[in-house]
Chains A and B, each alone.
Chain A
Amino acid sequence: EAGVTQSPTHLIKTRGQQATLRCSPISGHTSVYWYQQALGLGLQFLLWYDEGEERNRGNFPPRFSGRQFPNYSSELNVNALELEDSALYLCASSPRRGRGTGNEKLFFGSGTQLSVL
């Protein structure tokens, strides 16, 4: 069974540009989560999508946005890139949310390393 896949693995942009990161969840998973990890530190929650809807959003400015497609894959867009946006962006998926469905078990991709110059 294929795991969570993210593309690209590395992305280099300059300040002010836009970045688009993509994530394909494990087959059958409907929830997708995005996290930012700067300098190998903690996981900062960005966005949670489930069944095409945004369920929760972390404390990030509006230039961080995303969407989830009908096939449950997801895209994270970062507009007007700033130097401090340089980080590893991790996507995770889990089964359908609800009681006792195991959505505590997140499956992470290997991430997209975004470098802003």
Chain B
Amino acid sequence: GQQLNQSPQSMFIQEGEDVSMNCTSSSIFNTWLWYKQDPGEGPVLLIALYKAGELTSNGRLTAQFGITRKDSFLNISASIPSDVGIYFCAGQLFAGNMLTFGGGTRLMVKP
């Protein structure tokens, strides 16, 4: 079946630094999504991408739908302590299908 590989698995950064993480697949997806899970909570949708090459921002977060449809990237600028959590990418092949989730990137921010 389809698999999503997220990297890095974890990051420990200083407050104020920019963060980059990515997600790659061996097969294409037509929708890419990024979710964030705060400690003790369920994941929350951050950004949804529907078109190859699309670049979408949500505050300090920017995500891109890779042109090959096999990858996606998430950048966080000027990190703050509340950015701590696990970031999951997810892909959907066709509308109505289930999502395939990546293994997550755990982000830790040092004040």
Contact = CB atoms under 8 A, between A and B. Distances in A.
A103 B48 CA distance: 12
A109 B48 CA distance: 19
A15 interface: no
A99 B96 CA distance: 6
Interface string A72-114: 0000000000000000001010000111110111111111000
B2 to A, nearest CB: 12
Interface in B73-105: 86, 88, 90, 92, 94-96, 98-99, 101-104
Given A42-B101, A42-B102, A108 B42 contact: yes
B61 to A, nearest CB: 16
Contacts of A56: 98
Judged by DSSP, the binding face of A is loop
Contact of B95 (A33, A92, A99): A99
B67 interface: no
B48 A104 contact: yes
Interface residues of B, number: 24
A103 B42 contact: no
A11 interface: no
A97 B92 CA distance: 13
A97 B40 contact: no
A45 interface: yes
A105 B96 contact: no
Contacts of B90: 104
Interface string A8-51: 00000000000000000000000001000000111101001000
Contacts of B95: 98-101, 103-104
Given A42-B88, A103-B95, A105-B33, 16 more contacts: A41-B103, A41-B104, A43-B104, A45-B101, A90-B42, A99-B94, A99-B95, A101-B96, A104-B33, A104-B90, A104-B95, A106-B45, A106-B99, A108-B41, A110-B41, A111-B42
Interface of A: 4, 33, 40-43, 45, 48, 55-56, 90, 92, 97-101, 103-111
